[in-house]
Structure 1
Amino acid sequence: MTVDAGSLVLALAAVLVSTFVQFATGSGFGVLGGPLLLLIDPRLVPGPLLLLTLVVMLAVVWTERRGLRHLDLGWAAVGAVPAAVGALWLARLMDQRVTEVVVGLVIAAGAVAGLAGWRVPQGRTTLIGAGVLGGALSTIAATPGPPVVVVYRAEELARYRANLSLFFVATTVVSLGVYVASGDLGQQDLVVAGWLAPGVALGWAVARLLVRRVPPGVVRPAALALCVVSAGSLVASAVVG
């Protein structure tokens, strides 16, 4: 896989911004980065994006590790693991454009509902359901976040960021395992992810300077708004492309 210089610069910028957003809101790396990288070069998703996602999520979990005193998303992970494995079969059956439209509409519906004030009860059943959707979306489009963002709430920002990112670590590891076992993740994906890794490092550096200045009250609405934007981009790219 070769990526031209112009596309590489754009992809690095997308990764940088997405990394900062992940550190600031606890979500958004795949939701924002996935559609942007698809627009730049469809080959950047899901393999390279999943590899970068794992690095970013581990970095956020380490940075916000004090928030892991309470592990809130265990039930979501229970739903996500089998869904992430089964979704590869679904992804192979569905046309890529159809998949992108379906994923975009699911993301948009959940995010708009959250912004409108619709509160999904945060319990075992809803967390498992969100985990199932998130696990499937992780394998299909490397975007496990929106279903869980709609359901999960925590008052402490460190707890919110750390638990969301730990959930994303789990879904990403499973999805990567599925792609490795199926032969759909190759050495070229590792090489491209390595080219884009400086974007992660720069995004992390910017986040260390600015994240603590983000007002707590804007974190969840910002995460939901990003879900809407990314969903629109994903559907538009599928329809136009």
Structure 2
Amino acid sequence: MTDLLLVAVVAAGVFMLAAIAQAVTGFGSALVAVPLLTLVVHPVTAVVAATAVSLVLTTGAAWRERDHLDAGTVRILTVAGIVGMPLGLVLLAVADESSLQGWIAGSMLVMVVLVAAGARIGSRGLPVAGLVSGALLTSTGMNGPPLVMALMDREPRRYRATLQAVFAAQDVVAVAAFAVLGYVDGRVALVSAAGVVGIPLGWRLGDAVFHRIPAARLRPLVVGGLVLTATSMLITAYS
């Protein structure tokens, strides 16, 4: 199997798993995808490709569930996220591969622990959650946890629909910024294309679970797996 074919096969499988996590918990596609992709591609490629695939995934989900989203909250979190994106782009530009991998793993661990602990952000904290999510999106591809903490108290369908709409809106801006800054190359395109192939089946499987089993029963398992992944990635980055 050639290197490019291996990367494509791995990417398709990774994004299928990422879509399952996204459908079940409302977030998690990048938390699953970025650390696993760094096993076969450069961290920058992983971040950019994960954001591009997330744009496809979340746009489709937001459109399907548009009747359940909170438009006012989407606007606040999106605008604040755009303001925070330049901070993440600076980090992406100046960090070397090992440092960036360590930052991704460390950020992932902190965010997953906060979500697992039930940390919440009130309505007054929406702009802060949006700002942090934007900075994390353009540096790690993982903008979900701050948004989850801001929205997790809402009715499940409203929570998931609003979250997907914010992801989609932020991803549009982030992908455009990556393209302008020259981060979109042939390998990013390959990983993204393979990822798009993997997400329909993943979302279908995850959506079936979402409607049949309470997310609270599955979230501890998802969080546990993500913690193990991040810990392994952190050890690899600094070994």
Q: Normalising by structure 1, report the TM-score.
A: 0.84
**What is the aligned partner in structure 2 of residue 46 from structure 1?**
47
Instruction: Measure the CA separation in 2 of the matches of 1:30 and 1:110.
Output: 12
Residues 21-77 of structure 1: CA deviation (Å, up to 9, x unaligned): 111111000111111111232264123222211011112212322321554343322
SS at match of 2:152: coil
* 1:1-241 aligned within 5 A: 3-42=3-42, 44-69=45-70, 71-117=72-118, 119-124=119-124, 126-218=125-217, 221=220, 224-225=223-224, 228-240=227-239
SS state at 1:45 partner? helix
For 1:212, what is the secondary structure of its paired residue?
helix
Percent identity, please.
25
CA positional deviation for 1:205: 3.1
**Unaligned segments of structure 1, at least 5 residues:** none
Structure 2 CA distance for partners of 1:210 and 1:183, relative to 1, 3 Å:
same
Structure 2 residue runs without a partner (length 5+): none
Cα distance in structure 1, aligned partners of 2:79 and 2:224: 27
| Per-residue CA distance 1:66-125 (angstroms, 9 max, x = gap) | 3215543433223210221332122212223223323332332233234334x434122x
For the 8 Å contact 2:78–2:130, the answer to whether it is kept is yes
Q: Distance in 1 between matches of 2:57 and 2:110?
A: 26
Distance 1:109 1:193, change over 3 A: closer
Say if 2:35 and 2:105, in contact at 8 Å, map to a contact too. Answer: no
- CA separation in 2, counterparts of 1:131 and 1:98? 24
What SS does the corresponding residue of 2:73 show, helix, strand or coil?
Answer: coil
- RMSD of equivalent CA atoms: 2.6
Q: State TM-score, norm by structure 2.
A: 0.85
